Amino acid sequence: MLDSPSTAKFPWKLNSVALDDGTYRVANYVDAQNTFGVTERMNYECTIKVIDADNFQCESYCSFL
């Protein structure tokens, strides 16, 4: 959904809330350039499920707020 995903920069700290059974609701932001080359901050929220230490599954599409 980003105009230029290769410019995306995510914060080191991840804001998440544990729901149940290894599922987390993540709400954070990403800084990325738009089509004009201007960096914009976009807030997003999604739900993920941890499968193991190296794998996770998206339970919902990320929605930009």
Domain boundaries, the chain: 5-64
Length of the chain measured in residues: 65
**Residue 49: predicted pLDDT:** 92
**Residue 14: predicted pLDDT:** 78
pLDDT one-digit tens code per residue, 38-48: 999 999 899 99
CA 36, 42, 48, 51: dihedral to nearest 10 degrees? 50
Task: Report CA-CA distances (Å) from 45 to 3, 35, 36, 38, 40.
Answer: 18, 23, 25, 22, 17
pTM, whole model, 2 decimals?
0.71
